Structures are given as structure tokens and as C-alpha cells.
Structure 1
Amino acid sequence: MKGHQVTIIDIAKKLGISKSTVSRALTNNPNVNPETRKAVLEMAKTLDYQPNMLALGLIKNETRMLGVIIPDIQKPFFAAIVSGIQHAVGRMGYRTIIAQSDESPQIEKENIQALMLSRVDGFLICHTRDTRNFDQIKLLYQKGFPLVSFARICQGLPIPKVVEDDFNGLYTTTQHLIERGRKRIALLAGPKHLQASKLRQQGYLSALRQNGIGFDNELVAHTRFLADDVAVAVNRWLALAEPPDAICTIYDGGAVQVMQLLKSRGVNVPGDIAVAGFGNDPASGLVEPGLTTFEQRPYEIGQAAGKHMLDILKKRFGDVPPEITISEGRLVVRGST
């Protein structure tokens, strides 16, 4: 019948046997007669039977499906991480269900609930920029779900975490700007509560201190990664009696926008103000001048997160020591500095 999904009941009726016998045959139960198993498999192929993975999961207490929650699939950084996760777990027979939170803590919570109902075997989660309440994640942990946190992490749980080279990234970038003769280096930071934003700001401050450059609070702007925030920061800096001679950002999208705003105001990059980013997104090599940036290696972050998940699943009933994996990056120098 058109639109009808074939079930084990259909196979059983065709062969004149019980549905329990069909079920045992399809799951390679040794108690099924080999001739019966062969007949069931042939009929299943003839009828184009597709197994109900959720039902099989209920039987085996595993679905071999993993839930991956990310803030924004359109951003190359998150897309590359997902690719790394899928390649890591796919080789071991696991598939992923990708859920996008769209930077909303409420949608993130709803995604977790939906994936729980889908009976995924584990969760790999990158939190939204605004996630501050981790009760939902703690509940997953208490229920025994395998968990891996990456990029924007949950600090309060003893679970594996994979993060970027945050401190070293901004330290290296700021040091590079200082070596280019820049003394008033502004920082376009992220939300104050994000661990990555904190570490990147610490790297920036460390480079200033080591080079005897005093910290000026006016040169630091915290944003929510929104275009309006970037415009406010740049306009404020340009209005200072002594504007910055360099702007360091903790994400490439912000750096590209900074360059566009400076050009629109007649400011030469890098002649008047040098600009550096973080991430090495594809756009960083396409703008003019090319954007100096610290490469994050998101694919490797995804692979590391996937491998951590496989380790947890392999030792599900044993102790899995939590650890933080730092994906090492490198500075890519282009024309903007």
C-alpha cells in the first residue's frame, strides 16, 4: 500500500509465522532455524523493510545515535566541528542528530528534551552565548547520560571538555601587534560570563603586562557577538582623544565588521589602525586587506569531542576521568596588521 511502512507484522503474515519469530530472525537470535532466518531476510528485502531504530533501541538499550547541540549551523566554525564529530563517531557505527539552539537558552533546553525523547546514547553540547543556568545538563549527568562539552563549556561538571587555544591565541595575537609597533591596542571581547572570552582577555592582558604597556579599560568592549555592539564599540574608540592604533577581536566576524566600519570612516587599515581576528573563518582571507587571525582548527575540536564520547561509551559502566583537551592553534599573518 502506498505510504505504508512495512513492519514485522507484514513479514510475518506473508510467511505465515509469528511476529516474535520474525523479530528474532532480524536480530540474529541463535534460537531461530537457519532456513527460517533466510526466508525472513529475503522477504524483508522484497518488501523493502526498514527497521524501527527506536524500537530496536528499546530492546538493546542503545540507539547508536548521538545528540549534537550547537548554537548556529550556518557559521563555518560550528559546521566544521560537526563534521569532525561525525567523522570520529561514524567510523564506530554511530550517527548524529544535529540540533541548533539559535543562541537561545530556551531552545537549547527544548533540544535537550527532544533528544532525550529520541533516546540518544549521549550528548555533545556547545552552549549558547547566553546560557548561564546548567541545571538541565546537570540533570542529564545525574541520569547517567554520556556528556561531552565543547567550545562554550559547562564548567561545573566532571565531564570531558574540548576548548580552543583561547589564552595563547590572544596572547600571541596581541604580542604580534606589539611587535609591529602598536601601543594602544583595543580589545573587542565577548560576553563577560563566557569562559572562552575570559581566557582570551587574560591572554591579551598578559601580553600587555609583559611588554610594560598599561591597561586602559576604555579600550575593552564586551559584546554579545552582535553587529550593533561592534558599531557602538568602534564609534566610541574613534571618538577618544587618543584612539587605538590596533584593534584585536576574539572572533573573525567582529574583525571583518571592524574593518568595514573603519574604511567607511576613512581610516586606513593597517596604516592608521591594525586589525586582528580569531578563528580564521573563510571570509578572513577574502577581505581586503586580508585579515590577520588566530586559526582555531574547529574540525580537530570536533574530532577530539567525538573521540571523548566514544571513550565514555566504551567505558560506560566504568570510571572515565574528565579532562580538558586544548586544540592548539596558530597565528595566520595577513595584510590587516
Structure 2
Amino acid sequence: MKNHQITIIDIARELGISKSTVSRALTNSTNISPETREAVLKKAKELDYQPNMLALGLIRNESRTLGVVIPDIQKPFFAAIVSGIQHTVSRIGYRIVIAQSDESPEVEKENIKALMLSRVDGFIVCHTRDTKDFEHIKLLHGKGYPLVSFARICPELPIPKVVEDDFNGLYTTTQHLIEQGKKRIALLAGPRQLLASKLRVNGYKVALQQHGIPFDKELVAHTKFLHDQVAAALERWLSLKNPPDGICTVYDAGAVKLVELLKQKGIKVPDEIAVAGFGDDPAASIIEPGLTSYAQKPYEIGVVAGRYMLDLLNKKYPVHHSDMTICKGTLVVRKSTCSRLR
């Protein structure tokens, strides 16, 4: 008996009762005596019976699984969000299926189709840096699937959304560089079409404006988060007649690369050019000098996204519910912007 998956037939045979009686006992049916239910549950535990979740899902028209679509599981930011989602939904008996898009809109669409065929009960989605067409998400929404959007959100649908504190993050970081005496502050930005990127650029602009520093479009470089684009942006800035004395970035990996390139060129960080990141990834505290960074709360983003999904599944909100949570962050100051720190 131990050589195969235990079924209700095995329990029924052991107890000398029908499989329908076993089924009623395991599903808490009221049409069964307490003594029989207790005997079935005891035998099920003894035989290490595990319910067939696929069969139960077909009966209940639910799979108790959720599809989580992310651009890159290797990045600490997304890994922490997935952890927050999983810990939140698993407490209520849901499992997650992770689909990685590798920053490809086409792969994202294929992943959505595959998850639909896998009969997931809902979708928690972060789009790729290049996603501009949201028709595949609108299709899910039209079919009545519970949907939650996080980080790189779909702005075209009335669904729950969870985002970082994009505007205040870059506003705070830029203001910090200004307080360090920097006057020519460049910005390593993200793709132009991303809402998060637009908000971060706006935060940077407002900080400059409030301190009477004119905005110079020559000092803004939009990238797709690629190292060669970071290097090209730095070369362009250094070739200017009046190069920057500080650089804000919208992601830590870009800031780490900038620090590396500046050190290779013999440019002192932060005395000649200060560098600040966004995200406070683990590398921020390891590199030399340590990277000043606006710390996000990705695990919290995952927890909030998971709660939104559970609320949708429990009909607390209608599928067309529109709400947004901004997870506040804090600036962590290190030596890449402030050499006086010990």
C-alpha cells in the first residue's frame, strides 16, 4: 500500500466502508456520524493520506493556486516580493506558480496563457520594462479573473495596484545630493513609458526646482537597465563642458556600475562625483564606498499584493475594484554621497 499514493479507496477498504462515506468524512459533510468521521480521519492520518488537489479543484471549480508573473526572479527586489506574496497567501491555503518573463513582453503574454490553461484562480502581475500593450491583461479582466498589479503596473484597468514610493524616492535622493553641495545632478532613469520611471523623473525635477536649480535635459539618460547603456550615459556626461558633480539613479545595479566605472577612471566618489541609488539592494552595503540608496520595502509590497488578491477571492472587493497602495521607503545614507560618515 505504501508504494502508491493513498486514496479514499484505500481508506474505505481498511475500514470496511464505502468510498462515498470516506469522502463525506473528509469534506466535513453533515450527513455522517461523528464516530465514523473520527475513524476516517484517524485512518487517513495513519496512512498519510494526501488529498488530490486537482480533483478537488475540478469539483469546486478552483485550483487554490495563483499565478505570479515577474520580469526577473534573480533580482533581489522581485525575489523579496514573491516571498511576501507566498507567505501571505499560503496561510489561507493557496499556492503560487511563478512565471518569469525575462523582460520580454511576448514571454509575458505566453506565461499568462499558460497560467490560464493551468486553471489558476487569480493573477498577480508585474509587467516587463517594454510592455506597452495591455490587451492580454484586459482579456483576463474581461473574463472576470481576480487581478492585482504591482511595481510596473497596468494603468489602464480599475484593479488593485501596489507600488513603490517612486516620486518621493527620487525627490528625497535628489534633495540629499543638493544638501551635500551638489549643483549639477544627473539622473540615470528607466524606460520612458514606465509609469514608475515617469514618477521618479518628476520627483527629481521638483527637487531641483524647489532649490532653484534649472533642469537640464542633457543630464537625464533613459535606459533599459542595461550596463552598456550605463557606461554610454557616463561617457556622455563626462564629455560635457560642465559635467555632473552628482548622479541619482532609479535602480541600484546602475548605481553600483557607475561607482565601478568612476573608480576605474580615477574619479573620486563622492568628492568629485557623488552617486545615489534606489532600492537598497544587498550590494549597496557591500561595495566601497557604500552606496547611498532609497530603501524600498519589496517584501511589504508582496504582502499587500497578496492581501489584495485574497480580498478579491473572498469577494470583499468586486473584480473591478480600483485601489492603490504606495509602500513608503527611507533614504539610507552611506559614503557614496557623504565622505564624512565613519
* TM bucket normalised to smaller: over 0.9
Q: Distance in 2 between matches of 1:332 and 1:26?
A: 53
Match of 2:120 in 1: 120
Q: Which moved more, 1:255-264 or 1:211-220?
A: 211-220
Once the 2 structures are TM-superposed, how far is the Cα of residue 21 of structure 1 from its aligned partner?
3.4
Q: Secondary structure of the residue that 2:149 maps to in structure 1?
A: strand
AA in 1 matched with 2:310: L
Q: Which moved more, 1:38-47 or 1:142-151?
A: 38-47
Say if 1:233 and 1:317 are closer, same or farther in 2 by CA, change over 3 A.
closer
Once the 2 structures are TM-superposed, how far is the Cα of residue 203 of structure 1 from its aligned partner?
0.7
Q: Distance in 2 between matches of 1:142 and 1:255?
A: 41
Q: Secondary structure of the residue that 1:271 maps to in structure 2?
A: coil
Q: Which residues in structure 2 correspond to 1:41-120 (within 5 Å)?
A: 41-120=41-120
Deviation string, structure 1 residues 163-199 (Cα, Å, up to 9, x no partner): 1110111111111111211111111001111110010
Match of 1:312 in 2: 312
Q: Secondary structure of the residue that 1:268 maps to in structure 2?
A: coil
Q: Which moved more, 1:254-263 or 1:51-60?
A: 51-60
Instruction: Give the paired residue count.
Output: 337
Once the 2 structures are TM-superposed, how far is the Cα of residue 317 of structure 1 from its aligned partner?
7.5
Q: Distance in 2 between matches of 1:318 and 1:150?
A: 18
Deviation string, structure 1 residues 264-303 (Cα, Å, up to 9, x no partner): 1111101111101001111111111111111111111112
Gaps of 5+ in 1: none
Gaps of 5+ in 2: 338-342
Once the 2 structures are TM-superposed, how far is the Cα of residue 106 of structure 1 from its aligned partner?
2.3
Match of 1:255 in 2: 255
Q: Which residues in structure 2 correspond to 1:149-228 (within 5 Å)?
A: 149-228=149-228
Q: Which moved more, 1:87-96 or 1:133-142?
A: 87-96
Q: Secondary structure of the residue that 1:66 maps to in structure 2?
A: strand
Q: Distance in 2 between matches of 1:69 and 1:3?
A: 36
Q: Percent identity?
A: 71
Q: Distance in 1 between matches of 2:25 and 2:276?
A: 62
Tell me, yes or no, if the aligned pair for 2:159 and 2:319 is still in contact at 8 Å.
Answer: no
Root-mean-square deviation over aligned CA pairs: 2.1
Q: Secondary structure of the residue that 1:236 maps to in structure 2?
A: helix
Q: Distance in 2 between matches of 1:107 and 1:21?
A: 46
Q: Distance in 2 between matches of 1:105 and 1:8?
A: 44
Say if 1:50 and 1:303 are closer, same or farther in 2 by CA, change over 3 A.
same
Once the 2 structures are TM-superposed, how far is the Cα of residue 210 of structure 1 from its aligned partner?
1.8
AA in 2 matched with 1:123: F
Please report the TM-score for the alignment, with normalisation by the length of structure 2: 0.91
**Matching of residue 246 in structure 1 with residue 272 in structure 2:** no
Match of 2:279 in 1: 279
Deviation string, structure 1 residues 203-237 (Cα, Å, up to 9, x no partner): 11111122222222221111111111111111111
Q: Secondary structure of the residue that 1:263 maps to in structure 2?
A: helix
Q: Which moved more, 1:89-98 or 1:10-19?
A: 10-19
Match of 1:326 in 2: 326
Q: Distance in 2 between matches of 1:115 and 1:280?
A: 32
Q: Distance in 1 between matches of 2:64 and 2:315?
A: 15
Match of 1:292 in 2: 292
Q: Distance in 2 between matches of 1:318 and 1:275?
A: 45
Q: Secondary structure of the residue that 1:326 maps to in structure 2?
A: strand
Match of 1:301 in 2: 301
Once the 2 structures are TM-superposed, how far is the Cα of residue 95 of structure 1 from its aligned partner?
2.7
Tell me, yes or no, if the aligned pair for 2:149 and 2:161 is still in contact at 8 Å.
Answer: yes
Once the 2 structures are TM-superposed, how far is the Cα of residue 153 of structure 1 from its aligned partner?
0.3
Q: Distance in 1 between matches of 2:108 and 2:293?
A: 30
Tell me, yes or no, if the aligned pair for 1:54 and 1:118 is still in contact at 8 Å.
Answer: no
Q: Distance in 2 between matches of 1:3 and 1:129?
A: 48
Please report the TM-score for the alignment, with normalisation by the length of structure 1: 0.93
AA in 1 matched with 2:279: G
AA in 2 matched with 1:295: A
Deviation string, structure 1 residues 19-77 (Cα, Å, up to 9, x no partner): 43333232122223445444443443344332111211122233332222221122111
Tell me, yes or no, if the aligned pair for 1:54 and 1:119 is still in contact at 8 Å.
Answer: no
Q: Distance in 2 between matches of 1:48 and 1:182?
A: 66
Deviation string, structure 1 residues 237-285 (Cα, Å, up to 9, x no partner): 1122221111110000100000000111111101111101001111111
Once the 2 structures are TM-superposed, how far is the Cα of residue 152 of structure 1 from its aligned partner?
0.5
Q: Distance in 2 between matches of 1:117 and 1:66?
A: 12
Q: Distance in 1 between matches of 2:178 and 2:211?
A: 8
Tell me, yes or no, if the aligned pair for 2:108 and 2:127 is still in contact at 8 Å.
Answer: yes
Deviation string, structure 1 residues 78-102 (Cα, Å, up to 9, x no partner): 1111222223223333332222222
Q: Secondary structure of the residue that 1:275 maps to in structure 2?
A: strand
Say if 1:17 and 1:133 are closer, same or farther in 2 by CA, change over 3 A.
farther
Q: Distance in 1 between matches of 2:42 and 2:197?
A: 58
AA in 2 matched with 1:228: D
